Amino acid sequence: MKRRVVVTGLGAITPIGNNVEDFWNGIKQGKCGIDEITLFDTTNFKAKLAGEVKNYNPEDFLDKKSAKRLDKFSQFAVIASKEAMKDSGISEENTDMTRVGAIISSGIGGLNTIEEQNRNLLEKGPDRISPMFIPTAIVNMATGNVAIELGIKGESYSMVTACASATHSIGEAFRAIRHGYQDAMVVGGTEASITPTGVAGFSNIKALSTTTDKLRASIPFDKERSGFVMGEGAGVIILEELEHAKKRNAKIYAEMIGYGASSDAYHITSPLPDGEGGARAMINAMKDAEVMPKDITYINAHGTSTPLNDKCETSAVKTALGEYATTVMVSSTKGHTGHLLGAAGGIEAIACVKAIEDNFVPATIGYKEKDEECDLDIVPNVGRNTEVKVAMSNSLGFGGHNSTIIFKKYKD
């Protein structure tokens, strides 16, 4: 028998808030976290804007040793995971930690460390590469450091499916709990790739917006969209088996009911023009959740603000939901945060869970020019106070990776 899975903890560090409360308030207030890049000199760079985490000092969150030895992507992972775990109330006193797992994903990993150590190699020679280079930079160390920090002794690993990483991770954690392999999972994504190499690399494949207008840079579904804006941070949720959560008298935010995934098998960066791959992920998730298109209240779209993604995702929603595509609310929160790459699905899952809890649908901010090819109800500029019974989140990654997760309002 399938076990029910609920959300009992949330943690986030984002361009619009360094905890869940501030992040969600920023969403509700229509706050835009995109600004000029301060992390390096952009004089010779095409892209000048990003969604940086503001007022960030790692020692405000971590002890001095951890702040020094962890790459920024691992710092973000630990910060968000500690908040989520504290929020959940899970501890060694009430939970068998060998039955608690972790999957914290990243699209790129320790790019700051890779750049720093490459400079050492070129300027000072191979003997000056830090012996901590590899264990600091590799992607799985986000999960590794979270497990060490929180005493997690169950399944722990990282998934890399580019911008779909966190959503795939949440889906796989959901399955692990539902089928009895774990009782709880610390799961989500983290990213810290606003670096010279990261920004130049995405710029040179023409993926990034080059506008200098902060409010017209990340504009999902707008006809004048020209590329995405890099973001950084982490989003982590605690998934838990229902009876385990009830036994602890845990607060239950929502129930996770479905997960679907698919592959485009088409192109290394472009989605299928008709969105068929993304549609299959949504259809698979609805089938898994045992819900119909008419049951979906809200979709948090991948909505990157690139010309191809938003058009193809619109087609995917129409294919998956049929006649109900015209009535479902579909917004992208990347106007608020920019695109957090492998962490995007983590903070967007939090947005879905909070939408259900607060009965508030986030807006697609920065929207001005209607695109006839993106003709869904994208909740332009102003969020809506309305009951949210079922929320879906989509993530699509380079390589043709598609993932969809579904949450609903919890009822005993």
Active site residues: 163, 302, 339
Cα–Cα distance for residue pair 313/229, rounded to 1 Å: 18
φ/ψ of residue 234, rounded to 5: -155, 150
How many angstroms separate the CA atoms of 184 and 100, rounded?
Answer: 5
Residue 39 region by backbone torsions, left for phi larger than 0, else alpha for psi between -120 and 50, else beta: alpha
Contact, 405 vs 189, CB < 8 A?
no
DSSP annotation string for 104-170: EE-SS--HHHHHHHHHHHHHH-GGGS-TTHHHHHSTTHHHHHHHHHHT--S-EE---BTBTHHHHHH
What number of other Cβ atoms are within 10 A of residue 326's Cβ?
A: 12
Rounded distance, CA 297 to CA 335, Å? 21
What length is written for the chain? 412
* CA proximity to 150, closest of 90, 94, 106, 93: 90
Are 169 and 187 spatial neighbours (Cβ–Cβ below 8 Å)? yes
Contact status, residue 218 vs residue 209, Cβ threshold 8 Å:
yes
Residue 257: both structure tokens together: 């009911």
